[in-house]
Amino acid sequence: MWQSAGVMAGNTFGTALRLTTAGESHGPGYVGILDGVPPGLELSEADLQPDLDRRRPGQSKLTTQRMEPDEARILSGVFAGRTTGTPIAFLIENRDQRPKDYSEIRDKYRPGHADYTFDAKYGFRDYRGGGRSSARETSVRVAAAAVAKKLLRERWGVGIVGYVKSIGDIEGRIDDPAAVTLEQVEANPVRCPDQEAAARMAKLIERMRAERDSVGGVSELVATGVPPGWGEPVFDKLKADLGKALFSLPAVLGVEYGAGFSVATARGSENNDPFEMREGRVATRGNRHGGMLGGISSGQPIVLRCAVKPTSSLPQPQDTVTRAGEPTTIATKGRHDPCLLPRFVPMGEAMIALVLADHGLRQLAVQGVLD
Amino acid sequence: MWQSAGVMAGNTFGTALRLTTAGESHGPGYVGILDGVPPGLELSEADLQPDLDRRRPGQSKLTTQRMEPDEARILSGVFAGRTTGTPIAFLIENRDQRPKDYSEIRDKYRPGHADYTFDAKYGFRDYRGGGRSSARETSVRVAAAAVAKKLLRERWGVGIVGYVKSIGDIEGRIDDPAAVTLEQVEANPVRCPDQEAAARMAKLIERMRAERDSVGGVSELVATGVPPGWGEPVFDKLKADLGKALFSLPAVLGVEYGAGFSVATARGSENNDPFEMREGRVATRGNRHGGMLGGISSGQPIVLRCAVKPTSSLPQPQDTVTRAGEPTTIATKGRHDPCLLPRFVPMGEAMIALVLADHGLRQLAVQGVLD
Amino acid sequence: MWQSAGVMAGNTFGTALRLTTAGESHGPGYVGILDGVPPGLELSEADLQPDLDRRRPGQSKLTTQRMEPDEARILSGVFAGRTTGTPIAFLIENRDQRPKDYSEIRDKYRPGHADYTFDAKYGFRDYRGGGRSSARETSVRVAAAAVAKKLLRERWGVGIVGYVKSIGDIEGRIDDPAAVTLEQVEANPVRCPDQEAAARMAKLIERMRAERDSVGGVSELVATGVPPGWGEPVFDKLKADLGKALFSLPAVLGVEYGAGFSVATARGSENNDPFEMREGRVATRGNRHGGMLGGISSGQPIVLRCAVKPTSSLPQPQDTVTRAGEPTTIATKGRHDPCLLPRFVPMGEAMIALVLADHGLRQLAVQGVLD
Amino acid sequence: MWQSAGVMAGNTFGTALRLTTAGESHGPGYVGILDGVPPGLELSEADLQPDLDRRRPGQSKLTTQRMEPDEARILSGVFAGRTTGTPIAFLIENRDQRPKDYSEIRDKYRPGHADYTFDAKYGFRDYRGGGRSSARETSVRVAAAAVAKKLLRERWGVGIVGYVKSIGDIEGRIDDPAAVTLEQVEANPVRCPDQEAAARMAKLIERMRAERDSVGGVSELVATGVPPGWGEPVFDKLKADLGKALFSLPAVLGVEYGAGFSVATARGSENNDPFEMREGRVATRGNRHGGMLGGISSGQPIVLRCAVKPTSSLPQPQDTVTRAGEPTTIATKGRHDPCLLPRFVPMGEAMIALVLADHGLRQLAVQGVLD
């Protein structure tokens, strides 16, 4: 058995800011190398922890109870408290690797999971906890993105805030997406800034756990302060790179910007956001376009939404087949999230941060050659 | 004024199959170089024309009346009627470049267009017909994708069919997306396989033209015959690369797979597609997952939908500002599509074909190293 | 027969400035897409012709008599006489494609050529005039590099001059490589700035033609005005990228910088170039290091030499085998260069220009993010 | 101070087999991520140690006395003793980081080193032991290449052997480069397979240490068993990628293949290696071409030589300037190699292995699509 990957294996993301990752759910840990961070940025491990804590398991009773501190150790690229321009390597060690019997997920395909497709692809997989397909790999994305967020904030004043917009049939009321603050989001374990809705969502999640079921939802994410001009005209439109970034996250089945799918029933005369001058700058009345025109940032807030499916792992038995093709059932034992949305928020923010910092540096490169 | 681009300029798409494009709406023409086509594929210019004809302007009274034959000339990579493995270059010359007065779009920002964002990005733009931002650049994608489609069909039996699902409030009834045929789609100029709905859609489009307005819609696209195992586990998930591809097309504001945004209100127990054996192969009951699990193809049809906004160019006056920041109005003169959907279908198919052929070759590379 | 290439096929060169090429010796022509040229550079086809003329066949009686005007037509990326920042496409049509009998090179492997290795690689080749392996593909490199040279000259004052240092046993005397001018080089068809040696070299080349043989030589190339700081610390050292660029040219079997192979017999105490201040800047006494330290430009002239083998095509019979494995002989009929060196000079300059402009833009990107 | 890098920073090498590295000489350690290793290869840390031991400092009295075990820990990509196809991450911790006074190399530019060029590039550097510019970064290349070597050996029977050809004026006699064995090379600490010459070389190196000086040399490296057809026709010729790889190593100022610089004085009739049949395969009489034709492997041994400069670090005072531009002298204190050649051998082999395994996988991808 000889198989190949390389540039074709897709373990690297980004262009000017470039993250390469490795690691499996039950191996020694996860490693990331973030290349392209400018020198001179103050940085320490303490900068990475807050978002890692927002993503890590066991953070509230609404999430899985796997206990991982998810601490990232910086191994290079920082000297005397500042980045040097050389690549920054992170190591996040796995701690809570319970010795257990994996024979069930070794031999049966969990519905909604990548067990079957990995076998179809490689013929061989590290089945412990999903191996490379575990959502635990997003920890290293979140660590890297904490650097990107800091760069975005300090260099351009860009802020990124994500939140839960709906879970099941419960929708939070958000009057102005661009006005939502991190504090409002973090005020409850659901991460919905509508506190009343959040309470109902929490109950729904708890009910799902009790019913051995799971539920999906929508996360809305907003980037403010993005200058006009970010994004490239043809293939690397900002909406294209953001789309790839968000769809690269587990469980995302839909992405939309601004007015999103509702543009399908709109007329041009109502859908176009007219240009106007505001505070001396070109702006638009309305933001149905979601902050990008021709795939390039317009200076308006970037607003997008992700549809996140209900957790595939369920404690109730589900029909499936074995590797040998025999019908059977499988029920996930132990630890899982009845709803992915609360922990999705930092993951979504992370991917947006990596894309925006990448395009910010790309656009600086454009401007850097101005005489 | 010195600005830079390169790998950061985003004029190249794909990994194993790689398309690089150049060209502007009113320059001499468009050029594409498609690298990675296997040697031995029978190919001539006649293979490219059918899809170019489906995309070109002036094809029916529902579309813009710009008259372009959109003929692609092959300049390399084909010898004795077959591809050689060396890069295939295409040239599509522009013909219907009417000498006209561009001062209005030179000086005023058209709402919904990239005029302002190009100025913000580069400080300088080829304003003739939108220059590089014109959707006319998709012609070279369609030409290249005709090669990808042929490769997919002949090597793997993969078929790609797109169609119009809805325009405005009119929705076509499609019982089984995977059963729609090209013939059904091409039976009417709207490209909706529900012929009765198509007739109503055509009337709506004509009414839009009469009212100097435009309307949006949804296109659904399906790939059948994709073997399980295509796509990469982390960043280059198939859904991620398809998402980037489709969002790189003009006017797309939303993309969803399988059950799409409706997963947000679903429970895991109903959303998971159980595995079963069918015709001796692992299959799923239902296809809410849209043909990909863990970002890797499952062997089920890949089903996705794109939300396409109403044409931004309108013959009625719209509020805007000049480059100098003065309020004004602009109305598009002359030729435009009152609805983008009919011509979107081949563009959407093209991007799916480029992604699938790329991942097909990537997976062949994996399998190629099997002993 | 199904084979693949893409990113792995190597038809793209560079990072910030990125050239993708296509074309065969006896097809319709060559196409190049140069991405990453900053907007605002004055450019027309007239800028490309001088170097194309230096490279083209038939330029003097010392070279092959194939008659090709080698005119590059610009198809995109230039508006109102200036580059726009979008990709620049070139087309160089083939004119002198003589209908002739290719059965000999179709069936026999020419010693020193890529006929056998192409067959080993692809199993199928365009044998007309060498197809993709013809050195004629360097025309599009030279056209693209003319843009790079203009950018280097206007943006940074960087100049690149190459010349013939030796042919066979005849070595030109060059007291100061950094002082050689284009005029000195172009004063004779050999392109050796030592005019007396050049005359002897010309005679040697003519003798080779008479004797139906060929001869090799050394070209020395110099870049002046390169600011310190270009090149990347680890894999993309400037010397590494230049090395790749020069070895990517046909017939180059050796590359050395500064003191080159003579460092092997030197001691550190004599080989190190001490630092000193000169005209207020850090400089070195001597330039044994060839203008790069740690793979990064030092501000001293970049000096390198290429060993170019004698032309493999010979009008005299040479032992070889057929595709079927039968011993035979082959003698090249018709047009060839008895010595590659005179036409190598613009090719070598072209590759240096592409690398330096690439790294110049890369370093501008670094500096562009300076506050 | 804000500076950028990313894809432009050059910390990634290769295409199908792709190594990304990070780390500094006196930081916590070095990290590498090797992507593209086929699944199914038996692998453990024990496979990496032999070459790491050949490269590490302190291995004999001829080398620097820094004591580093250079043990690589594998953090991912291996399951049940075999590779899984997911990226393999390595960690090599730094141990012998002596707390010392770095003020001298912080403030003075060491001749022949990258201190000045790093400052010119970044304006800021980790000066401890050279930081990112330290040759210690090659440890992670050697670890990764041990995997590549194993793949080459097991999948294709390719072997790579390097050795010292000359040090100063002492040249080893090597009758047949392709017949040299690892055992002959490792039989002495100089790594010259001519044991008598090796003894004289060892004395010369010891004399250099005694004289507080250093000396250069030439390393010859050979790859046997490479099948015909590896390498790409235009930019990614095998000789181009090998050239880049070898010039990316510290201290290499010249690279040549086969007859190398001596082709410059040869005639075509003597330089061409005629084709003949040997053991039923196409072969050449002689190997002046060095195993590649048209940049593609010919099936003959790949033979190349690298000119390695004398160590720049010298214990004797050398003229230089301070960061502030004041003339001064500097003498390296402590540990250094009086001659780089013995430890260069595994580094050169490593880069060849990475390139060959990359192109082997690239060619498998080509062949993988054969029906």
Q: What is the pLDDT of residues C161-193, one digit of tens each?
A: 999 999 999 999 999 999 999 999 999 999 999
For chain B, 371 residues long, the average pLDDT of each consecutive 10-residue run is 57 94 94 93 96 92 83 95 94 80 86 93 84 94 98 96 98 97 97 98 96 97 97 96 98 98 97 96 97 98 98 95 96 85 98 96 66 34
* 3-class secondary structure, A135: helix
Yes or no: say if C89 and B23 are a contact pair by the CB < 8 Å rule. yes
Say which residues have a Cβ less than 8 Å from residue B357's Cβ, sequence separation at least 6.
Answer: B17, B148, B149, B151, B152
d(CA B175, CA B173) in angstroms, rounded, equals: 6
Q: Which of D86, D233, D365 sits opposite B368 (nearest CB)?
A: D365
d(CA D175, CA A34) in angstroms, rounded, equals: 47
A6 or D187, greater pLDDT: D187
* 3-class secondary structure, A150: helix
Q: What is the mean pLDDT of residues D266-294?
A: 97
Partners of C8 on chain A (C-beta within 8 Å) are: 7
Q: Which of D5, D33, D38 sits opposite A85 (nearest CB)?
A: D5
Q: Burial of C340 by CB count in 10 Å (0-12 exposed, 13-18 middle, 19+ buried)?
A: buried
Query: Which chains does chain D touch, 3 or more C-beta pairs < 8 A?
Result: A, B, C
Answer whether residue C41 shows pLDDT above 50: yes
Tell me the CA end-to-end span of chain D in Å, nearest whole number: 55
Beta partners for residue B73, in sequence order: B91
User: D238-247 vs D341-368: helix axis angle to the nearest 10?
Assistant: 150
Tell if the CB–CB gap between D364 and A155 is shorter than 8 Å. no
Beta strands (DSSP E) in C168-312 are 170-171, 217-224, 252-257, 275-278, 281-284, 292-293, 296-297, 302-308
Partners of B365 on chain C (C-beta within 8 Å) are: 4
Q: Which of D24, D77, D365 sits opposite A76 (nearest CB)?
A: D24
A-proximal residues of C, 228-267, CB under 8 Å = 233
Closest CA to B249 of B55, B115, B46: B55
A-proximal residues of B, 300-329, CB under 8 Å = 307-314, 316, 318-321, 325, 327
SS3 annotation, chain B = CCCCCHHHHCCEECCCCEEEEEECCCCCEEEEEEECCCCCCECCHHHCHHHHHHHCCCCCCCCCCCCCCCCEEECCCEECCEECCCCEEEEEECCCCCCCCCHHHHHECCCCCCHHHHHHHHCCCCCHHHHHHCHHHHHHHHHHHHHHHHHHHHHHCCEEEEEEEEECCEECCCCCHHHCCHHHHHCCCCCCCCHHHHHHHHHHHHHHHHCCCCECEEEEEEEECCCCCCCCCCCCCHHHHHHHHHHCCCCEEEEEECCHHHHHHCEHHHHCCCEEEECCEEEECCCCCCCEECCEECCCCEEEEEEECCCCCCCCCEEEEECCCCEEEECCCCCCCCCCHHHHHHHHHHHHHHHHHHHHHHHHHHHHCCC
A59 or D224, greater pLDDT: D224
pTM above 0.80, yes or no: yes
Is D7 part of the contact surface with chain B (CB cutoff 8 Å)? Answer: yes
Yes or no: say if A68 and A142 are a contact pair by the CB < 8 Å rule. no
Structure confidence by residue, pLDDT tens digits, C246-258: 999 999 999 999 9
Q: What is the DSSP string of D60-75?
A: STTS-------PEEE-
Partners of C367 on chain A (C-beta within 8 Å) are: 368
Beta partners for residue A161, in sequence order: A222
d(CA B237, CA B231) in angstroms, rounded, equals: 5
Tell me the CA end-to-end span of chain B in Å, nearest whole number: 55
Confidence band for D97, pLDDT divided at 50, 70 and 90:
low
Structure confidence by residue, pLDDT tens digits, A63-106: 877 778 899 999 999 999 999 989 999 999 998 766 677 788 89
B-proximal residues of A, 126-185, CB under 8 Å = 132-133, 137, 166-169
B161: number of CA atoms within 13 Å, CB side?
20
Confidence band for D75, pLDDT divided at 50, 70 and 90:
very high
Tell if the CB–CB gap between B6 and C361 is shorter than 8 Å. yes
pLDDT at residue A4 in the model:
42
Beta strands C72-74; C88-93: pairing state: antiparallel
Beta partners for residue B281, in sequence order: B278
C336 or B98, greater pLDDT: C336
Tell if the CB–CB gap between C365 and A364 is shorter than 8 Å. yes
Planar angle of CA C31, C32, C38, nearest 5 degrees: 150
pLDDT at residue A370 in the model:
37
Interface B-C, measured as beta-carbon pairs within 8 A, has a size of: 229
Residue in C366, C369, C370 to test binding to A, most A beta-carbons within 10 Å: C369
Q: CA distances (Å), B293 to each of B257, B364, D15, in order? A: 11, 19, 27
**Mean residue pLDDT across chain A:** 92
Q: Which of B38, B364, B369 sits opposite D361 (nearest CB)?
A: B369
Tell if the CB–CB gap between A22 and D11 is shorter than 8 Å. no
Yes or no: say if C58 and C65 are a contact pair by the CB < 8 Å rule. yes
Q: Which of C86, C233, C361 sits opposite A369 (nearest CB)?
A: C361
Is C1 part of the contact surface with chain B (CB cutoff 8 Å)? Answer: yes
**Mean residue pLDDT across chain C:** 92
Q: Which of C5, C82, C361 sits opposite B85 (nearest CB)?
A: C5
Which residue in chain D is spatially nearest to C125 when comparing CA positions? D233
d(CA D85, CA D147) in angstroms, rounded, equals: 13
Partners of B16 on chain A (C-beta within 8 Å) are: 8
Answer whether residue C95 shows pLDDT above 70: yes
Partners of C125 on chain B (C-beta within 8 Å) are: 84
B-proximal residues of A, 86-115, CB under 8 Å = 109, 111-114
Tell if the CB–CB gap between D361 and A91 is shorter than 8 Å. no
Q: Name the residue with tokens 């950028």.
A: D4
Say which residues have a Cβ less than 8 Å from residue D243's Cβ, sequence separation at least 6.
Answer: C240, C243, C244, C246, C247, C255, D255
DSSP designation for A322: B
D370 or B131, greater pLDDT: B131
A-proximal residues of B, 39-68, CB under 8 Å = none
The contacts found for C190-198 with CB under 8 angstroms, 24 or more apart, are C190/C62, C190/C164, C190/C341, C190/C342, C191/C162, C191/C163, C191/C164, C191/C341, C191/C342, C191/C345, C192/C163, C192/C164, C192/C165, C192/C167, C193/C163, C197/C170, C197/C171, C197/C172, C197/C173, C198/C164, C198/C172
Answer whether residue A225 shows pLDDT above 90: yes
* 3-class secondary structure, C369: coil
Extract the tokens encoding D75: 């953090």
Beta strands (DSSP E) in chain D are 12-13, 18-23, 29-35, 72-74, 78-79, 82-83, 88-93, 159-167, 170-171, 217-224, 252-257, 275-278, 281-284, 292-293, 296-297, 302-308, 318-321, 327-330
Extract the tokens encoding C352: 């240096």
Q: What is the mean pLDDT of residues C97-124?
A: 85
Partners of A11 on chain D (C-beta within 8 Å) are: 33, 35, 86-87
Partners of D351 on chain C (C-beta within 8 Å) are: none
A20: number of CA atoms within 13 Å, CB side?
30
Residue in C18, C242, C272 to test binding to D, most D beta-carbons within 10 Å: C272
Residue A92 φ then ψ, to 5°: -115, 110
Q: Burial of C210 by CB count in 10 Å (0-12 exposed, 13-18 middle, 19+ buried)?
A: exposed
Confidence band for A362, pLDDT divided at 50, 70 and 90:
confident
d(CA C35, CA C354) in angstroms, rounded, equals: 12
Is A364 part of the contact surface with chain D (CB cutoff 8 Å)? Answer: yes
pLDDT at residue A58 in the model:
85
Q: What is the mean pLDDT of residues D267-286?
A: 97
SS3 annotation, A189-216 = CCCCCCHHHHHHHHHHHHHHHHCCCCEC
Q: Which amino acid is at A228?
A: P
pLDDT at residue B370 in the model:
38
Confidence band for D370, pLDDT divided at 50, 70 and 90:
very low
pLDDT at residue A208 in the model:
96
Is C33 part of the contact surface with chain B (CB cutoff 8 Å)? Answer: yes
- Smallest Cα distance from A69 to chain B, Å: 23
Partners of B26 on chain C (C-beta within 8 Å) are: none
Answer whether residue A203 shows pLDDT above 80: yes
Which residue in chain C is spatially nearest to A371 when comparing CA positions? C155
Extract the tokens encoding B332: 């598009």
Residue A123 neighbours by CB distance under 10 Å: 16
Q: Burial of C178 by CB count in 10 Å (0-12 exposed, 13-18 middle, 19+ buried)?
A: middle
Interface B-D, measured as beta-carbon pairs within 8 A, has a size of: 33
% pLDDT > 90, chain D: 81
